[in-house]
Amino acid sequence: MAKNLFIQAIIKFIVGVVLVGLLVFLPAGTVSFFNGWLFMGVLFIPMFIAGIVMMFKNPKLLESRLDAKEKEKEQSLVVKLSGLMFLAGFIVAGLDFRFGWLPLPKAVCIGASVVFLLAYVLYTEVLRENTYLSRTIKVQENQKVIDTGLYGIVRHPMYAVTLLLFLSMPLVLGSAWSFLIFLAYPFIIAKRIRNEEQLLEKELDGYVEYKKKVKYRLIPFIW
């Protein structure tokens, strides 16, 4: 089981590196794209480290994070929209560099990289607090409501962190046009959250009470 999980994780990681690399560097028309390499580094090095830690510390969590097959129709649409956003955003970032449409200052790219890495630290903290997290919408056996730490601030800290991660991606790549594409993400994730909460209210004991305790879904004092 552990060996199969390790092989599955490595294959998905390699496929991810190759796919993102092609989406970024092919439209750029060159591998001499500093922001492209910067992005690949801040994205995949922490991901690799987090995967290794989960492999040894919590393989069940790693297995659930690798499972991306949504069964809910509405959530499947959300996944497809997100995929389309990434596809368009990465390609446009490469084209932006190639043709010099609207490049961002290097200071913005470096600052965005710092934000991305800090957000990844928060991502690992969310995983530590809630070992029931999976990439698909479902309630697991013996799952309990988590209401401490970041879950005491907003009901969906993982999605809040992905806002920082995903909105900083096009800035790391140095593309203002790509950033405009990624601005679709808050609307996509809001749709996912609404549908997910309907499921949790029905199937997760204590979630209705948790909603009364923690008022905000994603951003404190806003929503």
Q: Could you give the C-alpha distances from 107 to 69, 114, 173, in angstroms and in order?
A: 38, 11, 12
Q: Is residue 38 predicted with pLDDT exceeding 80?
A: yes
Q: Is residue 136 predicted with pLDDT exceeding 70?
A: no
Say whether pTM exceeds 0.85.
Answer: yes
CATH 1.20.1050.10 fits 2-213, yes or no: no
Q: Please write the tens of the pLDDT for every residue from 75-133.
A: 778 888 999 999 999 999 999 999 999 889 999 999 999 999 999 999 888 888 877 66
Q: Cα(first)–Cα(last) distance of the chain, in Å?
A: 41
Q: Is residue 18 predicted with pLDDT exceeding 60?
A: yes
Q: CA-to-CA distance for 83 and 185, rounded, in angstroms?
A: 10
The candidate with the shortest Cα–Cα distance to 63, out of 128, 131, 110, is 131
The candidate with the shortest Cα–Cα distance to 9, out of 49, 36, 69, is 49
